[in-house]
Amino acid sequence: MSRLLTILLGSAALAAAAPITTWAADAPISKADRALHEKILTLDTHLDTPEHFARKGWSMADRHDVKADGTQVDLPRMDAGGLDGGFFVIYTEQGALTAEGYRGARDAALERAAEIREMVAAHSDKFELAYTADDAERINKAGKKFVFQSMENSWPLGEDLTLMQTFYATGVRMAGPAHFKANQLADSSTDKPLWHGFSPLGLRWLAEANRLGILIDVSHSSDDVVDQAVALSKVPIIASHSGAKAIYDHPRNLDDGRLKKIADAGGVICINSVYLKNTNASPERLAALKALGPAPDSETASEADIIAYLKKKAEVDAKLPPIRASFEDFMASLTHTLKVVGPEHVGIGADWDGGGGVVGFEDVADLPKVTARLKAAGYTDADVAAIWGGNVLRVVRQVQDYAAKQAAAK
């Protein structure tokens, strides 16, 4: 089963999992908060929406419903939520560390990069590729959405780091070494260590990322990788979609010490909307899901077949509701991180279309709720602007300025 369908199956629970309580996220957003949100440049550092670009019958230009098809990002909802752009992800599920595995991953990643560019080309009046922080600001002022590209899991590079230049040329400006499993470059936070940090090849990957001007993303990486990236990178690093371990003790989350390490080195921690609480399913629910039978393959199945399966799953959700985190849990992770490192080192990377979304914060149309809550908590307009985009663009500039200076020196 593809990652896309896995995401859809999780999102289908929204149709039946209505909140028992009226969360603060449902409170009306003031005109002042809405005006501020529309005024500032707003970006998300981890948009898995390219998973849908090749999906039959699906268009970025149409408004979709998360309860119907599981998707969380499209142009109308970006407009509704004031999302100006972000990093669109080239994701590759970890596979074999073999020549054949590397070739297949490389080709899949290049195809995904092409799909991102094709989406932008097909809607060039609304979207534009961004390569620098200046690009993002220019595109935003022109009234379009800016599209950076990032690579989640650098397994597709295999053992040929010259491919980093290839992906840089396609537009990749952020990359993480690993995903849920350790690979040829580095250890994962959710797997047994192979290297106790970066591999020798991974250390070369880090240096090459610095040379090219690619942001190093430590989300999904092990604690050893985080420590080594902070120590060895010549420029600040980023965690594009991570959370506070103090809120929920999960390997994917960062403890306060590492939050501070990243911030002290000038980096940014972007808060996601997953791994916020224990959401493990009951045995009864697992059995009911298994009884549904094999799910359709989203790579080959029709949209109608996928939606029909999701409706069946929604019936299970109605009888045996899933455990879901809430907007309050997301805000707890965000405000805790803000208290630990300050508003100059925090961003937003909610993992939309990649498993993110919580009760009261279901898709990107809900983003103004965050601005309202930050203002209610006493953060200034400048703080909010930094959290929503300024901090990340600052690091983009630092990383690219370093690369430019190194190139000029040679």
Q: How confident is the model at residue 319 (pLDDT cuts 50, 70, 90)?
A: confident
In a domain, residue 147? The reply is yes
Nearest alpha carbon to residue 329 among 352, 359, 349: 359
Residue 17 pLDDT greater than 70, yes or no = no
Amino acid at 51: E
Q: How far apart are CA 251 and CA 220, in angstroms?
A: 9
Lowest mean pLDDT among 58-67, 164-173, 311-320: 311-320
Amino acid at 159: E
Whole-prediction pTM value? 0.92
Q: How confident is the model at residue 218 (pLDDT cuts 50, 70, 90)?
A: very high
Domain count, the chain: 1
SS3 304: helix
Q: How confident is the model at residue 1 (pLDDT cuts 50, 70, 90)?
A: very low
In a domain, residue 54? The reply is yes
SS3 219: coil
In a domain, residue 134? The reply is yes
> What is the per-residue pLDDT for 10?
53
Q: How confident is the model at residue 374 (pLDDT cuts 50, 70, 90)?
A: very high
> What is the per-residue pLDDT for 318?
86
Chain CA centroid to CA 249, Å? 20
Q: How confident is the model at residue 287 (pLDDT cuts 50, 70, 90)?
A: confident
In a domain, residue 24? The reply is no
The first and second tokens of residue 372, run together, are: 């309202």
In a domain, residue 8? The reply is yes
Residue 401 structural domain: 3-17+43-409
SS3 268: strand
Chain CA centroid to CA 222, Å? 17
In a domain, residue 69? The reply is yes
- Residue 227 CB-density burial (10 A; 0-12 exposed, 13-18 middle, 19+ buried): middle
Q: How confident is the model at residue 317 (pLDDT cuts 50, 70, 90)?
A: confident
Helix extents (H) in 149-222: 163-170, 200-212
For the chain, the farthest-separated pair of C-alpha atoms sits apart, in whole angstroms, at 65
Q: How far apart are CA 243 and CA 337, in angstroms?
A: 8
> Which comes out higher in pLDDT, residue 312 or 95?
95
CA distances from 45 to 87, 117, 136, 175 (A): 5, 18, 13, 11
| DSSP letters for 4-64 | HHHHHHHHGGGGT---SS--GGGSPPPHHHHHHHHHS--EEEEE-GGGGTTSTT--TTS--
> What is the per-residue pLDDT for 11?
47
In a domain, residue 145? The reply is yes
> What is the per-residue pLDDT for 15?
40
Q: Strand 145-152 to strand 43-47: parallel, antiparallel, or no bridges (unpaired)?
A: unpaired
Task: Look up the CATH number of the domain holding residue 315.
Answer: 3.20.20.140
Contact yes or no for 104/155 (Cβ under 8 A): no
Residue 4 pLDDT greater than 80, yes or no = no
**Could you tell me which residues come within 8 angstroms of residue 348 by beta carbon, excluding any fewer than 6 positions away?**
43, 44, 45, 270, 271, 334, 370, 387, 388
Percentage of the chain beyond pLDDT 90 is 80
> What is the per-residue pLDDT for 289?
84
In the beta sheet, which residues pair with residue 87? 148
In a domain, residue 77? The reply is yes
Residue 5 pLDDT greater than 90, yes or no = no
Q: How far apart are CA 196 and CA 205, in angstroms?
A: 16
Contact yes or no for 147/116 (Cβ under 8 A): yes
Amino acid at 28: P
Computed over every residue of the chain, the mean pLDDT equals: 92
Contact yes or no for 45/347 (Cβ under 8 A): yes
Q: How confident is the model at residue 367 (pLDDT cuts 50, 70, 90)?
A: very high
Query: What mean pLDDT is predicted for residues 237-255?
Result: 98
Residue 8 pLDDT greater than 60, yes or no = no
> What is the per-residue pLDDT for 106?
98
Q: How confident is the model at residue 320 (pLDDT cuts 50, 70, 90)?
A: confident
Question: Could you report the per-residue pLDDT of 19-55, keeping only the tens digit for each?
Answer: 333 334 566 899 999 999 999 999 999 999 999 999 8
Percentage of the chain beyond pLDDT 70 is 93
Contact yes or no for 119/62 (Cβ under 8 A): no
CB atoms within 10 A of CB 314: 17
Determine the angle formed by the axes of helices 133-141 and 391-409, rounding to 10 degrees. 130
**Could you tell me which residues come within 8 angstroms of residue 82 by beta carbon, excluding any fewer than 6 positions away?**
37, 38, 42, 367, 368
Question: Could you report the per-residue pLDDT of 109-138, keeping only the tens digit for each?
Answer: 999 999 999 999 999 999 999 999 999 999
> What is the per-residue pLDDT for 38?
98
Question: Could you report the per-residue pLDDT of 51-96, keeping only the tens digit for each?
Answer: 999 988 899 999 999 988 889 999 999 999 999 999 999 999 999 9
**Could you tell me which residues come within 8 angstroms of residue 257 by beta carbon, excluding any fewer than 6 positions away?**
none
Lowest mean pLDDT among 253-257, 298-302, 320-324: 298-302
> What is the per-residue pLDDT for 20?
33
